[in-house]
Amino acid sequence: MRLHARCTQDVWTPRHDGKYRSAPAAATLSYPEEQKSMPSRPKQPAEPPRRPRRRKSVEETTRLLQEQIAVGEELLSRIDPGAYVPGVSSKLRDEYYGWTNYVKELLRSLFDNDEVANEFDFFIGVA
């Protein structure tokens, strides 16, 4: 690859012997050929994400999750979309947020990564 310099103007600069010489004030650098990048390596297929593994037995995990499903259904049954009663709705909202936070932490403790807890958080946040 060859580099070309083009002077925009000349400036007189002193030399070591006391004489002056003409020197370019500024140069514009350009590449006559388009720079080509190196060919890229073929990409390795990414490994699929590892599935979460249970930290507790199937029976214990099932029991704990069924208990929280029952609590969630009970909270849901107390919501009346047609009625607004000041004070009651904020209490119910606080219970709901407390329950969702508890379930997220429970899911984090039941599985060895946060995938299930994050899916629960996304689903609850959308609903």
Rounded to 5°, the CA angle 110-92-126 comes to 60
- pLDDT (0 to 100) of residue 82: 73
Question: Which two structure tokens, joined as six digits, stand for 41?
Answer: 């390596």
Q: What is the pLDDT of residues 94-109, one digit of tens each?
A: 999 999 999 999 999 9
- The number of distinct structural domains making up the chain is 2
- Tell me whether residue 5 is in a domain: yes
Same domain, 71 and 115: yes
Q: What is the pLDDT of residues 28-62, one digit of tens each?
A: 555 555 556 666 777 787 888 788 999 999 999 99
Same domain, 28 and 63: no
- Tell me whether residue 100 is in a domain: yes
Supply the range of the domain harboring residue 115: 58-126
The structure's pTM equals: 0.56
